[in-house]
Structure 1
Amino acid sequence: MLFWSVFGASIASALIPLINIEAILAVSISQAPSATWGLVIAATIGQMLGKILWYWGGMHVDRAPWVSRHLQKPKAKASLDRWHERAEGRPWFTAGLLFVSASIGFPPYAVTAVLAGILRVPFWVFFVTGLLGRGLRFWAVVGGTSSVMHLFQ
């Protein structure tokens, strides 16, 4: 049951950044240390399912009339053009940025997921770098939680 709770919470936290999956994961692991890796997997997969919606939203964001109007403004258009230039023909830069964002959260991964969709980053690049980055992030949470738990034993 805890697995599915963490899984659901991780999807929710991917969609609503105010929900802190790291805190939920840490508390869940402290309650069931034997389920650690299952909970890390649940959080990782759940987060990516939620982030896929951000990615998909980025791919279709230009369908919203107010977004289209905003993207036609010179400043917004110049910014988007700069990102296209940075990403175009530089798959390692793009994958690296997605991985760093997924693992450390800077730039915020929800924003990066939308940008990946707008820039039409191949889905498999987005998904694999996100799985690896989120998995590493949650593995670090596990390590931190374990360290704190040992202090109180």
Structure 2
Amino acid sequence: MDLPELWVPVVVVLTTFAVAVLSGFVPVVNTELYLIGVAALAPLGAVPVLVLSATLGQMAAKSAMYLVGRGALTLPFLRRQQRLSRVQQQLRDRSDRVSLFVFVSASLGFPPFYIVSVACGMLEVAFSAFFTAGLLGRLVRFAFFASLPQLGKELLA
């Protein structure tokens, strides 16, 4: 295997990460469709690496959205502090349900994980709970979509 052949997998993994980051900020960029396409062309052994790359890329973007909601990164249209304090207390009392909600949003895409990411920051959901549930949810989601080409090949064979 020569040097150009070694770079191809690295470029594909890095491109997958970049597409997932972009998709995390720009919802019309669809990581799921990208993963279906790249997984159809990639060797079967590369698919888990692609799924992990997409998951980490999405969570990098969603972590930034969380920080926007938290106020660490500021956007002028996200200020509603008085209404939030009551909801924040309710969420602290139900932290296990919040993690489940984040997981469902990250894995199913409903409600949109983009909105949930910002809301979790605004409502001061613990970052560790947000990140863990989001990471696991996105991992499940992307593994499902990346497995579709292989499933299709097996059904058509």
Please classify the TM superposition score into its range, dividing by the shorter chain length.
0.7 to 0.9
Whichever residue aligns with residue 8 of structure 1, its letter is A
C-alpha displacement of 1:24 = 0.2
| Residue 40 (structure 1) aligned to one of 47, 51, 76 | 51
Label 1:95 to 1:152 Cα distance change in 2 as closer, same or farther (>3 A): same
2:100 corresponds to: 96
C-alpha displacement of 1:123 = 1.0
Label 1:82 to 1:108 Cα distance change in 2 as closer, same or farther (>3 A): farther
| Residue 13 (structure 1) aligned to one of 15, 23, 37 | 23
Aligned residues: 146
Q: What is the percent sequence identity of the aligned residues?
A: 33
Paired residues for 1:3-82 under 5 Å:
3-34=13-44, 35-60=46-71, 64-68=75-79, 71=80, 77=83, 80=84
Whichever residue aligns with residue 6 of structure 1, its letter is T
3-state SS, counterpart of residue 18 of structure 1: coil
Provide structure 1 residue ranges, at least 5 long, that are not aligned to the other structure.
none
What whole-Å deviation, never above 9, does each CA across 1:115-146 have from its counterpart, x for those lacking one? 11011111111111111000000111123222
3-state SS, counterpart of residue 93 of structure 2: coil
Determine the C-alpha separation between the residues in 2 that align with 1:9 and 1:63: 24
C-alpha displacement of 1:90 = 1.1
3-state SS, counterpart of residue 45 of structure 1: helix
C-alpha displacement of 1:151 = 3.8
Normalised to the residue count of structure 2, the TM-score between the two structures is 0.83
The answer on 1:105 being equivalent to 2:109 is yes
2:145 corresponds to: 141
RMSD value over aligned CA atoms? Answer: 2.1
